[in-house]
Amino acid sequence: MPIALVERIVAKKRSNANQAKTTTVKEPEKKPEATQEDDRLVILSYAQAGRLIGKSRDCVRRWVNDGLIPKTFFPSGLPGVRKVDLYRVYGVMIENNKQPEK
């Protein structure tokens, strides 16, 4: 094999090796942080809502049946409550149950 041909093969292998080392890897896209607008879209099951505020799921279900919290539905058709509605109603309940300061 002629020396010139061997030199070309070696040079080609070196350039391929250098190209492999310098390839860039794309970083995964960062997910945006949750905003208040996202909370308006969050739907919770009665059990999740109860755990969030320290009440039972039956308590949350009663509030929904009494009309205190608007009922909404998951895309699957199961009932639930929006997170923002739960905070709105539960926050008002806490304010109304405060003991007057002496």
Predicted confidence (pLDDT) per residue in 64-91, tens digit: 999 999 999 999 999 999 988 888 887 7
Q: pLDDT, tens digit, for every residue of 10-44? A: 777 777 665 655 556 666 666 555 555 566 678 99
From the number of C-beta atoms within 10 Å of its C-beta (0-12, 13-18, 19+), residue 55 rates as middle
Q: 18, 81, 24, 70: which is closest to 48 by C-alpha?
A: 81
Q: Kindly report the CATH number that applies to the domain delimited by 38-96.
A: 1.10.1660
pTM of the model: 0.54
Q: pLDDT, tens digit, for every residue of 45-68? A: 999 999 988 899 999 999 999 999
6, 23, 54, 78 from 19: Cα distances, Å = 20, 6, 59, 54
Amino acid in the structure at residue 35: T
- Comparing 92 with 31, the larger pLDDT belongs to 92
